[in-house]
Amino acid sequence: MATGAPGAGGATAAGKPVSATRVAIQNFAFSPATVTVKAGTTVTWTNQDSDPHTVTAKSGAGPDSPTLDQGATYQYTFTKAGQYAYLCTIHPFMLGTVVVTP
């Protein structure tokens, strides 16, 4: 017998894009690691770790935050459709992607 309500919660299968406008920085990872938004959407990252982090585009246009201490937030508005890969320049193993649809 299945339990739980259809559509409840926000969980997805691992690796699947999530529609979100907020990304948590916690446990040395971006969560969710991949988000999908419409062009014109502002995404907000919040550092929940005690260590500092950045949100920096891997190349080209995209987010470029200052160093974010614990509790700090950074916002970036994605105006053009495309795929934007980003990382933490302090901890380059931390990777994320924003997929922007028209």
Residue pLDDT, tens place only, 26-82? 999 999 999 999 999 999 999 999 999 999 999 989 999 999 999 999 999 999 999
* pTM check: above 0.85: no
Whether omega before 32 lies within 30 degrees of 0, making that bond cis, reads yes
Specify the CATH class of 18-101 in words.
Answer: mainly beta
Angle (CA) 29 61 100, round 5°: 70
**Cβ atoms of residues 100 and 81 within 8 Å:** yes
- For the chain, the domains span 18-101
